[in-house]
Every structure is written in structure tokens, then in C-alpha cells.
Amino acid sequence: MKKKIAMYWGAGCGGCDVSLLGIHEKLLDVLEKADIVFWPCATDFKYEDLEKMEDGEIDIAFYNGAIRTEENEKIAKLLRKKSKILVAYGSCATEGCVIGLANLYDRDEIFNAVYLDNETTPNEKKIIPQGMEKEGIELPEFLPSLKTLEQVVKVDAAIPGCPPPSPVLEEALNALLEGRTEFGKEVALCDECPRKDTKPDKIEIERFYRWHEKEDDGSCFLAQGMICMGPATRAGCGGECTSAGIPCTGCMGPVPKVENQGIAMLSAIASIIEDMDEEKERAVMESIKDMVGTFYKFSTAKLLPYGRFKDES
Amino acid sequence: MSFEPKIVAFLCNWCAYAGADMAGTSRLKYPGNMIAIRVMCSGRVDPEFILEAFEKGADGVFIGGCHPGDCHYVSGNYRTRRRVEMMKRLLEEMGINPRRLRLEWVSATEGQKFARVVKEFVEEIRQLGPSPIKKEEAI
Amino acid sequence: MKVSIDPITRLEGHGKIDIFLDEKGNVERAYMEVPELRGFEMFCRGRKAEDMPIITSRICGVCPEAHHMAAAKALDMAFAAPPPETARKIRELLYNAYIFYDHALHLYYLGGIDVLMGDVPKEERNVIGLIRKFGLEIGKEVIKHRRYAMEIVKMLGGREIHPVTAIPGGVSKPVSEEEREEIVKKAKSCIEFAKKSMEIFKGVFDTERWNEMLGLDALHTYYMGLVDSKNRVNYYDGDVRVVSPEGKEVYKIKPEGILDYIEEHVEEWSYVKFPYLKEIGWKGLVDGKDSGIYRVGPLGRINAADGMNTRLAHKEFEEFRGNGVVHETFGYYNARLIELLNAAERMYELANDDAIVGGDIRAMPSEPGEGIGVIEAARGVLIHHYKLDRNGLVEEANLIVATTNNNAAINMSVANAARKVIKRGKVDDILLNKVESAFRCYDPCLACASHALGETPLVANIYWKNKLYRRLKKNA
Ligand code: SF4
Ligand code: SF4
Ligand code: SF4
Ligand code: FES
């Protein structure tokens, strides 16, 4: 029997939806084995159609995007109920992705930046969108912090990547259609990076460089003193960025069994720097700017699920 | 209600742990609200342990290692120094006061120093108040 | 009485339409809301400048190239590092590949379904229904050419979705001779495909149904688009030109000056703001010369320009613009087709340009400062504005995205279409799809529009006598 699949888009960019179209002709093969019963981005089914389904009627539901509003949360729970297997699809759903960086700020700060304290927005009446009660227009509540799918409902499988690179996606789809929920590589990106032969055990540098500050000589980025998330990032993309002259920023998330990608990377960096005197060492460390944005670009929501802490004093 | 800070201390077997012992045997006083975890080298303290300690309820994390040049594994303590430096900056960006994390070099004979720095640290944390990470966890 | 379409489907992002009926059951007013916000403006602060092309790309996975490039252009300026010729051309080539595949997406998978399929039940209103109607052959051609263009993006940008190679001052990867050959071949095939698409759509354009669709909505607004020195449409670079509803040039603005000309209005019922021409002012949701509302995107660009920079597309342009500016909202489809052809031709031209395989691909940045990047996303003018601190970290970021520029116009078009199709409280699925289709002309990208906060495909609620009368419910 054909499987019933669903795809839903929470707070994300839509790139995950596009990535599903991005397997091109192979999508037609998938459609031979499965019917799409719910996919708001590409088909005309509405929420009611989903609500009417039996519990567990959907065989595999893919949820991409994070949980940012009440509405996202509601649909996540609804999909959980209606599906046998719920898959977190892409970095937003699994790790919170770059939009998780919003957890460094609170809700009011975000509203201020957008609506009040914004150079092209005069907004003399200081209006902040909240719906129009008398008209019955509601806007879904913006939650205090951004969450990953797993932080809200139980998830059976995850497809990493922002968005999942085609080979990763194809492998995952095949596995899922066969009923398997474990797939993907168990090693770090360095393992399949075209620059891996030049990866050093130790580096001696004066400071870290940012990629726009230095010509790329084609060797391992860490050897060149540029931070590359390769050692702490799961393999699968084949080194898309490192092949194109940009260090890995970690979109595939941590290597399986490693919980905390950012800490793993931070630790790796501390280990490969040559021993040096304390002053110099401090200067090297200080040349790394924006720790959270560097090490947790794709996983701030996991580091700060409730948002930034407020340690008084 | 008075606040009694909970401190998790990772102590290197060869130096700080011995130093702590010494502080104990020579009956020097240091505050008792500290859970000491013996490690073979401060270099074994993965930054993940530090974060975990905070998540499990520590108000402060103390790491004691051998003086520069004295590490039994040659450079474990240098690595620790770099990690701690980076961790402090990460904590700060997370909204956690980096003073909640402290690294000290304490040799096996420095029982007195051990007692002093721990006492100082406990005092400092007492002033900072309970860690916000714990608070969030309670929700 | 209020009608809601929730979620609006076949669009990029989340949206909802609320329609209010008067006593008699005719449309009084309608709103298109975007119930989502993600807060990019806020969390870009404190990030490293060079991360901006990578971070802001995640505003939208449908047009990541647009944000990637707008960010890179803003940084070129902020670091005073104008990219060398080769880098500029590589970026433009990548950019045209993006315009091509994005337009193809809209024409065959999203809005174009309304034009090609007409009033059919919802089960058929998708790409699979399209393949059934027009044959698997055309379906395969569509898929193949979108793949070609995306492969070009991947070759030049490193990744198919969320490219990474644009850096302050240039690009991080040169183009090899083999890659160039590959691109030439693919671009050529894309030209043929665009011509074929022209034919397919023209088949519909001659019909009565098309006239009926055109009649759903026409707005006499200002139009805005980037143009080159000869006032021809350019997606990657150029000055911003604004024409009046009569088609007269009112401004020609250097990109860095654009923010002096526009402002954004806030309404409590939408997370997405409403930009307008500052000098003319915000007069509410009305069109005409006295209202500062302008339109962007394919129709905005083609109305704001005097021609196209490639031969075949220019011919089509002349035919389309023969009688001056076009106000019919469904004209977005004609404009989009012309651009599909233009983008394919331009890819071919650039790939044949020897500068494309040059080795000088980046300029080294100097001290960080302030920068504005203006580019034409498929859906219209996109502006990134950053202020950098001494360390090259972002101090302030302001983003005005394409769909936001069209927000006011979209709201009016939805209301107009609703007025035409909903009478005396009579509503059905097909009628509602007409309302939605007015909206889909703009190919609105609500992912982009909600960059500011956070998410939902569209919903229509219909309210009558102060109560929710129908919730759409498209086939009920
Ligand atoms: S994971 Fe990446 S591609 Fe997918 S929705 Fe999130 S930002 Fe977009
Ligand atoms: S650190 Fe980066 S560049 Fe070096 S081998 Fe690993 S992935 Fe490749
Ligand atoms: S190199 Fe890193 S950032 Fe780039 S696609 Fe691969 S995992 Fe993602
Ligand atoms: S052995 Fe004490 S710090 Fe390494």
C-alpha cells in the first residue's frame, strides 16, 4: 500500500520545502511510493483537512521550521497526533537554526527593533501588531523563545542540514519509506572534506582570521587560522562550503552522540592551538568574535531554549 | 533566607586535589559547600562538564590544576586555560556572569592557598546569588 | 461577516486572508495578514559582518540568493571593497540563474497553476494536476530546467539552497573553464525552455478566461525597479527608478540613497509593515497618484523600465508595454515570463563572456563602516542596510524585503478580487481560489515578509454580521 506522507512548514525559511523539490526527478519516484496528504506550500489542503484525519493516519510527517508562534506549536502537536512517524526535517526543526539566534534577545527587544526603533518606520502612534480585537482579527501569539520541534513534541527521526543536502535527503527518504528511522553518517565533516589532507594536529597562530580578511590558499581552514566547524559537524554534505572557499559554519549539526556541537568545537579549538604564553594566548582567543554566533550559528535554541539568561549584577 | 552557594570543583589528582587534602589534614578551614570531583588532569575537564555542572544546579564551577610547567601530561593545563578563557566568554554571551567559573593553579603543597581561593570563590558566588540556569530549569 | 482563507496555500510562507461582508453580504473590506515574525533585524546585531550573507539567506529559502547578494553588496560598500569585474559577473550570472529558477517555480508550481489550470477542484490545483493536463513531457522539462538553473547556482554559489560564496569584496570561488562550458550548454537549453513557456502561457492569454482574470483587479500605483544606465531592467545592479501611475519617471535614485525615499507604516493587524513613498505619504490602502503606495516585482520592474537588456526579451517587452504602463495585476504573469526569458538569455551572455573565468575574484576589505545593498529579488526591490562597529560586527541592521514592499498593494488586490467574486454572502471554494489567485500574482513570499518575526500559509475567514460566517473551507 502507498504510504501517506505530510510536510509542514513552521517558522522557517521555506528552503526545506524547496529542498524536497530539489531532489528533482527523484521526487517522482517518491510519489510512486507515497501520497502527499498535506503540504500547504505545494498543494491546496487546509488545516481542517488535517484535523479531520484519524489519529496515526499519516505514515510519515515531516516538520520543517522551528516553533516560534502558538500556531506552530499547535500544528506540531496536531501532526504528532495524526502521524505514526514524525520527522524533524532540517536544521530549524532539529537545532533551531540561525533564527534561534533570536533567543539571545527577548520578545520586547525584537518588537522594538522591528516596529519602534527602526530608521524607516516613523510609527508615531507606537503601534505594535497584536491583531484587531474588535474586528476579530487575531495574530498567533509570538512565544517567548524559539524552540526546536523536539523541545515541544516527541520526534522519531531527524534529517539534519540547512536545508538537508540532496544526498542526505535521498538516503533519509529511502530509509524512512522502508520504515527505518536511523540513517546518515556517524563521522565528522573533516572526514569527507576535500581539504582534509592538510588538516593540522596543532596550529601556531597569532590570531584567528575571519574569512574575508585573508586569501584562501586552498588548505584546511583551521591550518590557515580560520574557524571551521568541520571537526564538530556531522558529515553528509561532502564539504559543500569548504569546496567553495568558505569554512563550514556547522549547518549539519553535531556528530551523532555528541550533544553539544558548539562546545565540542570550542574544545577542539582550544586543543589545536600551540602552547604559548598567557598574554599571547588571550590575544588569540580574543580574536574570535561573537562566540554564540560562531559556535552556535545553527543551534542557539539548544544552548538557550528559554532565551538568554539574566544574571543580575 | 540565606543563600548557600553550591560549588562544583574539578580538581587535578596530582596537585589541586592533593592540595585540598592537605588543607583538610592540616585542619585549615574552608567552606564545606563544595562538591569535589577528582580528575586525572585538569585537561580532562571537558567544557561540556562545566556546562553540565551549571545545568545540574551549580552556582559556580571551580577548576584546580597544576602550575604552568608542572602538568603531568605536559600541557593539559594549558589547554584548560584556553578552554576556560573561551568558556568564560561564552557564558558571558549566554547572559551568565563569567565570574561563576574560576580556574586556579594549586600545587600539592599549597593547602593554604587552596583554602583561601575556595573561600574567596564561595564568597564571590554568594554575592552573585543563585545561578539563573537553575532557576530556568525549575520552570 | 468575515471570510478567512487559512492557510493560503501554494505560496512561500504563511498568510491569512480575512474578508468582512456588509449587511447585504457584499465585501466591505479585506485584509491579508502575515501571522509570523522571526526577528532578523534584532538578532543580526552583534553578529560578524561576513556572516550576514549566510545568516540573512535564511530569511527565505525560496530566494536565498537575493538576501545573500543584497547582504554581500551592502558589505562591499561597508568595507569600501568594490568587487573586481570577474567577481561582479560571477555574482550576476548566479543571480540570473536564480531569477530563472524562481520564476519557473512560480509559473509552474505555485501561482501559475491558477492561470494554466483555471477553475478546477482543489485536488487538481497543483503541479501533479498540471502534469496530468499538459503531459508528463512538459512536467519533465520544467523539472529539468529548474534543475539546470539550480545546478548553475550550486556551481557558482557552492550550495543549491543558501549559497555561501559571496563575501565582502567579491566571491570565494572562481569559475573553471569546464564549469563555464557546462553553464553555456545549460543556459542555451533554458532559453529554449523559456520560449516554450511563452507559448504555453500565450495559449491561455488569448482566452476569454484570461480577460476575466485581468478584470479582477487593476491598481494605479507607482512602480519601482532597478535599471541600468539605459533604463533597462537589471536584477543585480543599477539605480532605483520610480515611475508614476502615468508611467513618468519621478525618481532615479542611487541605491545608497533609497532609504531617504521610503518609509514603513505599521498596522496592528499584521506583523508585516507597509512601505510607501515618503514624499507622497501614507494615505491608507488606496491607489492613485496621491497615495505613496508603489508596486515592485516583475510588473513593477517592467513598468519602471524602458526595455530589457537582451534581444528576445526586449521584443516581448515592447509587445507587452506597447500602450504604456500596465496596471492589471495579472500582468505580473506576462512580466514574469518576459523575465524568465531575459534571465536565460543573460545567463548565456555572461557565461560566454571571457571575464567570467578570470582569476581576480576579490578585493580586500578596508575599515568597516556603513553599507546599503539594493538588489532585485524575484519579487522586487530588496534592501539590506548595515552599520558595522570597529570590529566589523553588526551594530544595526534594517531589512526591507520585496514582499513587504508589495504588502499594501497585495491587500488592495485581495479586497478588489473579493469584491468582484463574493456577492450576497455567496462564497465557494472556486470563488475563494480567485481571491487567492489575485494575491498569488505577486508571488508573495511571506517567508521574506515575516523575516521580522516568524510563520503560515494563508487562511480566509469570512465575517458577516459580526460573526464568523464561513471559514474557508475551499471545497465545502
Ligand atoms: S533548516 Fe534552513 S532551509 Fe530549512 S527552513 Fe530552516 S532555515 Fe530554511
Ligand atoms: S577543519 Fe574544515 S577545512 Fe579543515 S578538514 Fe575539517 S572541514 Fe575541512
Ligand atoms: S560545509 Fe558545513 S555549513 Fe556547509 S553545507 Fe556542509 S555542514 Fe553545512
Ligand atoms: S596533571 Fe595537573 S593539570 Fe595536568
C458 in Cβ contact with C8 (< 8 Å): yes
**Averaged pLDDT score across all residues of chain C:** 85
Whether residue C458 is predicted with pLDDT greater than 50 in this model: the reply is no
Amino acid at C97: A
C221 in Cβ contact with C294 (< 8 Å): yes
Instruction: Give the integer Cα–Cα distance in Å for C9 and C22.
Output: 26
In this structure, are C61 and C160 located in the same domain? no
Q: Least CB-CB distance to C455: which of A11, A28, A128?
A: A11
Using only C-alpha atoms, chain C has a radius of gyration, in whole angstroms, of 21
Ligand 1 contact, A15 CB (< 6 A): yes
CB contact under 8 A, C60 and A14: yes
Over range A154-170, report the average pLDDT. Answer: 95
> What pLDDT does A113 receive?
72
The CA distance from A105 to the nearest CA of chain C, in Å, is 7
C42 part of a folded domain: yes
CB contact under 8 A, C46 and A104: yes
Whether residue B29 is predicted with pLDDT greater than 70 in this model: the reply is no
Nearest Cα residue to C403 out of C264, C281, C303, C278 = C264
Residue with CA nearest ligand 2 atom 7: A230
C290 part of a folded domain: no
3 state DSSP class of C83: coil
Whether residue B77 is predicted with pLDDT greater than 50 in this model: the reply is yes
Fold of A3-98+138-177: Rossmann fold (3.40.50)
Nearest CA in chain C to A40: C9
Instruction: Give the integer Cα–Cα distance in Å for C265 and A22.
Output: 37
In this structure, are C61 and C151 located in the same domain? no
Over range A176-202, report the average pLDDT. Answer: 94
CATH for B21: 3.40.50
C243 part of a folded domain: no
> What pLDDT does C15 receive?
60
Question: How far does CA A313 lie from the centroid of its chain?
Answer: 33
Nearest Cα residue to C223 out of C154, C276, C153, C296 = C296
CB contact under 8 A, A262 and B90: yes
Looking at the CA of C451, which ligand is closest? 1
3 state DSSP class of C200: helix
Ligand 2 centroid from CA A298, angstroms: 18
> What pLDDT does C457 receive?
38
> What pLDDT does C450 receive?
41
In this structure, are C87 and C207 located in the same domain? yes
B100 in Cβ contact with B128 (< 8 Å): yes
Whether residue C474 is predicted with pLDDT greater than 80 in this model: the reply is no
**Averaged pLDDT score across all residues of chain A:** 88
Three cell numbers, residue B16 = 589541586
C14 in Cβ contact with C450 (< 8 Å): yes
Instruction: Give the integer Cα–Cα distance in Å for A87 and A150.
Output: 10
In this structure, are C101 and C165 located in the same domain? yes
Residue the block writes with cell 529539468: C144
Over range C114-122, report the average pLDDT. Answer: 75
- The DSSP 8-state label assigned to residue B67 in this structure reads P
Q: Least CB-CB distance to B133: which of A267, A292, A309?
A: A309
Instruction: Give the integer Cα–Cα distance in Å for C14 and C273.
Output: 15
Instruction: Give the integer Cα–Cα distance in Å for B42 and B15.
Output: 10
Ligand 2 contact, A193 CB (< 6 A): yes
Over range C141-153, report the average pLDDT. Answer: 92
pLDDT tens column, A262-310: 999 999 999 899 888 888 998 999 999 999 999 999 999 999 998 899 8
Three cell numbers, residue A209 = 582570521
The CA distance from C462 to the nearest CA of chain A, in Å, is 11
Over range A89-114, report the average pLDDT. Answer: 87
Instruction: Give the integer Cα–Cα distance in Å for A204 and B134.
Output: 39
C341 part of a folded domain: yes
> What pLDDT does C401 receive?
79
C6 in Cβ contact with C471 (< 8 Å): yes
Alpha helices in C163-308 (DSSP H): 177-205, 208-216, 298-304
DSSP letters, C116-183, are HH-S--GGGSSHHHHHHHH-HHHHHHHHHHHHHHHHHHHHHHSSSSS---EETTEES----HHHHHHH
Number of folded domains that form chain C: 2
Ligand 3 contact, A227 CB (< 6 A): no
> What pLDDT does A253 receive?
97
Atom of ligand 2 nearest to the CA of A190: 6
In this structure, are C42 and C166 located in the same domain? no
In this structure, are C102 and C204 located in the same domain? yes
3-class SS letters over chain A: CCEEEEEEECECCCHHHHHHHCCCHHHHHHHHHEEEEECCCCCCCCHHHHHCCCCCCEEEEEEECEEEEHHHHHHHHHHHHHEEEEEEEHHHHHHCCHHHHHHHCCHHHHHHHHHHCCCCCCCCCCCCCCCEHHHCECCCCEEEEEECHHHCCCCCEEECCCCCCHHHHHHHHHHHHCCCCCCCCCCEHHHHCCCHHHCCCCECCCCCECCCCCCCCCCCCCCCCECCCHHHEECCCCCHHHHCCCCCCCCCCECCCCCCHHHHHHHHHHHHECCCCHHHHHHHHHCCCCHHHHHCCCCHHHHCCCCCCCCCC
> What pLDDT does A138 receive?
57
- State the pLDDT confidence band at C16, using cuts at 50, 70 and 90: low
Over range C124-147, report the average pLDDT. Answer: 82
Asked if A247 is an interface residue toward chain C (Cβ–Cβ < 8 A), one would say no
Nearest Cα residue to C66 out of C91, C41, C34, C39 = C91
Over range A48-53, report the average pLDDT. Answer: 82
The CA distance from B65 to the nearest CA of chain A, in Å, is 15
Three cell numbers, residue B74 = 605536559
Whether residue A6 is predicted with pLDDT greater than 60 in this model: the reply is yes
Residues of chain A positioned with their CB less than 8 A from the CB of C143: 24-25, 27-28
Residue the block writes with cell 550576514: C52
Query: Which of A20, A36, A41, A132 to mutate: most C Cβ within 10 Å?
Result: A41
Ligand 3 contact, A250 CB (< 6 A): yes
Three cell numbers, residue A41 = 506550500
Query: Which of A24, A32, A44 to mutate: most C Cβ within 10 Å?
Result: A44
From A32-41, A123-132, C328-337, the region with the lowest mean pLDDT: A123-132
Work out the percent of chain A whose per-residue pLDDT is above 70.
92
Work out the percent of chain B whose per-residue pLDDT is above 70.
89
> What pLDDT does C350 receive?
98
> What pLDDT does C10 receive?
44
Residues of chain C positioned with their CB less than 8 A from the CB of A15: 58, 60-62, 64, 161-162
Q: What value, to the nearest 5°, has the Cα angle with vertex C148 and ends C144 and C154? A: 135
Question: How far does CA B71 lie from the centroid of its chain?
Answer: 17
Three cell numbers, residue C232 = 533597462
- State the pLDDT confidence band at B78, using cuts at 50, 70 and 90: very high
Q: Where are the domains of chain A?
A: 3-98+138-177, 189-297
Task: With both helix axes pointing from N to C terminus, report the angle between C85-108 and C136-157 in degrees, rounded to the nearest 10.
Answer: 150
Alpha helices in B1-139 (DSSP H): 16-25, 47-55, 76-94, 111-128, 132-138
> What pLDDT does C82 receive?
96
Instruction: Give the integer Cα–Cα distance in Å for C95 and B20.
Output: 64
Ligand 1 centroid from CA A9, angstroms: 10
B90 part of a folded domain: yes
Cβ-based neighbours of A175, under 8 Å, separated by 6 or more? A181, A182, A183
Ligand 2 contact, A189 CB (< 6 A): yes
Atom of ligand 1 nearest to the CA of A90: 1
How would you class A30 by CB atoms within 10 Å of its CB: exposed for 0-12, middle for 13-18, buried for 19 or more?
A: middle
Whether residue A110 is predicted with pLDDT greater than 80 in this model: the reply is no
From A22-31, C139-148, C465-474, the region with the lowest mean pLDDT: C465-474
Alpha helices in C305-421 (DSSP H): 311-321, 331-351, 402-405, 407-421
Which phi and psi (to 5°) does residue C453 adopt?
Answer: -120, -100
> What pLDDT does A105 receive?
87
Work out the percent of chain C whose per-residue pLDDT is above 90.
56
Pairing label, strands C249-253, C239-243:
antiparallel
Whether residue A169 is predicted with pLDDT greater than 60 in this model: the reply is yes
- The segment with the largest mean pLDDT, out of A28-37, A246-255, C283-292, C422-431, is A246-255
Three cell numbers, residue C421 = 467574486
CB contact under 8 A, B86 and A260: no
Q: What is the dihedral of CA A154, A157, A159, A160, to 10 degrees?
A: 60
Exposure string for A232-241, b = 16+ CB within 10 A, e = fewer: bbbbbbebbb
> What pLDDT does A100 receive?
94
Pocket test for ligand 3, best of C159, C160, C172, C173 (most atoms within 8 A of CB): C159
Amino acid at A306: Y
Looking at the CA of C64, which ligand is closest? 1
Host domain of residue B121:
7-128
Greater confidence, C26 or C352? Answer: C352
> What pLDDT does C447 receive?
47
Greater confidence, A28 or C406? Answer: C406
CB atoms near residue C199 (< 10 Å)? 8
Q: Which of residues 101-140 of A touch C (CB under 8 A)?
A: 101-102, 104-105, 109-110, 113-115, 118-123, 127-132, 135-137, 139-140
Pocket test for ligand 3, best of A241, A295, A297 (most atoms within 8 A of CB): A241
Those chains having 3 or more beta-carbon pairs within 8 angstroms of chain A are: B, C
> What pLDDT does C7 receive?
52
In this structure, are C66 and C98 located in the same domain? no
In this structure, are C343 and C376 located in the same domain? no
C312 part of a folded domain: no
C433 in Cβ contact with C460 (< 8 Å): no
In this structure, are C75 and C93 located in the same domain? no
- The segment with the largest mean pLDDT, out of C210-214, C252-256, C404-408, is C252-256
Instruction: Give the integer Cα–Cα distance in Å for A300 and A99.
Output: 8
A3 in Cβ contact with A34 (< 8 Å): yes
pLDDT tens column, C338-347: 999 999 999 9
In this structure, are C116 and C193 located in the same domain? yes
Number of folded domains that form chain B: 1
Q: Least CB-CB distance to C447: which of A14, A21, A128?
A: A14
Work out the percent of chain A whose per-residue pLDDT is above 90.
57
In this structure, are C338 and C372 located in the same domain? no
The number of C-beta contacts closer than 8 angstroms across A and B is 79
CB contact under 8 A, B83 and A288: no
Ligand 2 centroid from CA A208, angstroms: 15
How would you class A177 by CB atoms within 10 Å of its CB: exposed for 0-12, middle for 13-18, buried for 19 or more?
A: middle
Exposure string for A105-138, b = 16+ CB within 10 A, e = fewer: bbbebbbbbbbeebebbebeeeeebebbeebbbb
> What pLDDT does C129 receive?
78
Instruction: Give the integer Cα–Cα distance in Å for C468 and C446.
Output: 25
Amino acid at C91: R
In this structure, are C61 and C87 located in the same domain? no
pLDDT tens column, C257-303: 998 999 988 887 777 788 999 999 999 889 999 999 999 999 999 99
Residue the block writes with cell 593539559: B76
Whether residue C423 is predicted with pLDDT greater than 90 in this model: the reply is no
Host domain of residue C48:
37-79+364-397
- State the pLDDT confidence band at C455, using cuts at 50, 70 and 90: very low
Q: What value, to the nearest 5°, has the Cα angle with vertex A230 and ends A228 and A231? A: 110
Over range C392-421, report the average pLDDT. Answer: 86
Whether residue B139 is predicted with pLDDT greater than 50 in this model: the reply is no
